């Protein structure tokens, strides 16, 4: 259990190669917890969320940056980003905190650490499922993002190439942006 001291800074630290498997498992656990809290269908899933392919695609993209959030020397979460130094538009592929740290303001502190670490980013972008009310609250009310687009079966977005979702819920996502000042 992490001992929380509100005055301690959250450190954004590199992830070692041998820590990647643990980071992936923590991300999948955090995302599954959110899905289980919001969907009766979650118990029927046989594949992890995010999928191995999604995780690998994000982690090994040319512009990927993976960091862990440390508080008092212990990992409390992590983030996988895609930083574009040319356009100064960066994407948050995955951001999570451990369930034991939820509701303590640490996610907001962790996000501020990301912004501080990448001051050249002018616009941040991310996606989250439509049913993730906790995420929507966090990004809009705590971090200053705005919802700029809604993806669904008839508007699947640019990241879904030539795929038709089987159900409406499968691809119902919000796209968020935060324009830095």
Per-10-residue mean pLDDT of the chain, 181 residues long, equals: 69 94 88 68 62 83 94 95 96 92 91 97 94 91 96 71 53 92 89
pLDDT of residue 102: 84
Secondary structure letter of residue 174 according to DSSP: E
DSSP string, 43-84: GG--S-SS-HHHHHHHHTSTTEEEEEEEETTEEEEEEEEE--
- Topology at the third CATH level for domain 11-179: Aminopeptidase (3.40.630)
pLDDT of residue 28: 85
pLDDT of residue 39: 62
Q: Closest Cα partner for 128 from 46, 29, 43, 31? A: 31
Q: Helix, strand, or coil here: 177? A: strand
pLDDT of residue 151: 85
pLDDT of residue 10: 96
pLDDT of residue 143: 97
pLDDT of residue 125: 97
pLDDT of residue 159: 60
Q: Closest Cα partner for 95 from 53, 52, 135? A: 135
What residues does 24 pair with on adjacent strands?
A: none
What separation in angstroms does the CA of 125 have from each of 157, 175, 178? 13, 7, 7
pLDDT of residue 44: 60
pLDDT of residue 168: 52
Q: Helix, strand, or coil here: 1? A: coil
pLDDT of residue 45: 59
The distance of Cα 44 from the centroid of its chain, to the nearest Å, equals 23
pTM, full prediction: 0.84
Q: CA dihedral defined by 36, 25, 101, 31, rounded to 10 degrees?
A: -30
């Amino acid at each position: 259990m992490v001992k929380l001291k509100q005055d301690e800074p959250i450190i954004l630290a590199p992830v070692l190669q041998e820590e990647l498997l643990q980071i992936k498992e923590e991300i999948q656990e955090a995302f599954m917890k959110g899905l289980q809290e919001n969907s009766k269908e979650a118990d029927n899933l046989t594949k992890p969320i995010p999928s191995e392919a999604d995780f690998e695609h994000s982690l090994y993209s040319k512009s990927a940056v993976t960091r862990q959030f440390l508080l008092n020397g212990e990992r409390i979460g992590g983030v996988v980003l895609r930083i574009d130094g040319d356009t100064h538009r960066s994407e948050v592929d995955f951001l999570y905190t451990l369930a034991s740290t939820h509701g303590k303001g640490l996610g907001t502190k962790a996000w501020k650490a990301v912004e501080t670490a990448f001051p050249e980013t002018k616009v941040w972008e991310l996606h989250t499922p439509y049913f993730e009310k906790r995420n929507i609250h966090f990004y809009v009310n705590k971090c200053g993002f705005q919802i700029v687009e809604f993806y669904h079966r008839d508007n699947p977005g640019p990241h879904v190439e030539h795929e038709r979702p089987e159900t409406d819920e499968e691809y119902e996502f919000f796209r968020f942006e935060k324009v830095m000042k």
